[in-house]
Amino acid sequence: MSTRDIAATVPPRIGLLDAGPLDAITDVAGVTVGHATLADGPVQTGVTVIHPHALDPYRHKVPAGAAVINGFGKSVGLVQMEELGQLETPIALTNTFSVPAVAQAQIRDCVRANPETGRALPTVNPLVLECNDGFLNDIQRMAIGDDHYRAACEGAGAQVPQGAVGAGRGMSSFQLKGGIGTASRRVPLAGGHRTVGALVLANYGLLPNLVWGSAPIGASLAAAMEAEADTGARAAAAGPEKGSIIMVLATDAPLDARQLGRLARRAAAGLARTGSVYGHGSGDIAVAFSTAYTLPHLPEAAMPAVSLVHESLLDGLFQAAADSVEQAIVHALWHAEAVTGRDGHRRGALRDLLLQAG
């Protein structure tokens, strides 16, 4: 098989750590992912939901931390999540203008399961993160509603479709089709192994900057694409980066919220390796959570007594975070097919361009 044939069938393998059996965030036991995808002419968008476990997350919270690498984003729930260091809903990803609708869907879902939410019980803190898919999707239609969020939740499982699915349907990366990608890495720790899994919503980057498994291929790909582009496409390619990326990390290592914030910051290392400079108009946000224990909702319940990973042993988890994020971005680009959306706007697939460029 020639190098060109290999490049057309196998994405780069990032790092030296082993992947889990699925090479997905769902290699962290209990984590599931679901999508709802809308693909109808000018409507190219969706919702992706990440469940940390099968229990009610409002009553069985998980510890969490976040890192805002560049804050050009319109999320709901990050402020309280960072203050309290815990998740109490699934993590939802969608387009920018659908954040309020998905947050309301999360609230309604919690109220259905816990009818006294906001009355005898405290209110719930929904967590919704976004990227702007307005190049391909008619974002002004605000097509996402409760039924799409519920469909994503009900369809959640261990197998994670990647590419132009769910929240990734209308996303662009490096002026090509972006979307959802996932990966995992296993870390030798304390006589056993722990897993770090990543899921990304990739919607960022300028093609000349693309680094593909340590190979700076972006300039040659940009030249190949420019040769066939019209004047308008070339003008758009010359503009500043205006995209975003959401990076979600899950681990079964027992970490507290502060340590998870440190883990989340290492997502930036994986992002940078792909050629991102965290541009002015880019919302680059990472969230990390642990499934090693849960935190009770009711104050009369006992708090868990957890033996945390020692600070000096975190380097392997940091490596896994950087590698799994980079691998997830590779997978998002690799699995995404070409999509044509509103006003005839089109994003081509990286795999097609790799073959075209030879």
Q: Which of 116, 166, 42, 105 is nearest to 297 (CA)?
A: 116
Residues carrying an active site annotation: 244, 282, 284
Q: Per-residue DSSP letters for 5-38?
A: HHHHH-PPPPSSSPP-TTSSGGGSTT-EEEEEEE
- Quick check: helix, strand or coil at residue 69? strand
Distance CA 345, CA 347 (A): 7
Work out whether the CA dihedral 267, 321, 179, 337 comes out positive or negative: positive
Do the strands 179-189 and 192-203 form a parallel or antiparallel pair, or are they unpaired? antiparallel
Map tokens 């000018």 to a residue. Answer: 42
Count CB-CB contacts under 10 A for residue 315.
11
Distance CA 93, CA 25 (A): 15
- φ, ψ at 161 (rounded to 5°): -60, 145
